[in-house]
Amino acid sequence: MGPLMFGLMLDLGGGESTFGFVLAFGHMGLIMLLGPLVLRVMKPEGLAEDRVF
């Protein structure tokens, strides 16, 4: 999904232009920042085999 969205953002920004790269890398940075936030909000349970004794 990452390379596809990067390419889409690059195309939407006008191709290999400065704005295109700013849009593509900005989108990637936003997704990287939102990942830990989403995990914290969802509070996923660990697997039974992952427990540390």
Q: What is the pLDDT of residues 19-53, one digit of tens each?
A: 999 999 999 999 999 989 988 888 777 766 766 65
Both tokens of residue 53? 């004794």
pTM given for the model: 0.68
Q: Which has more confidence, 53 or 6? A: 6
- Cα-atom radius of gyration of the chain, to the nearest Å? 17
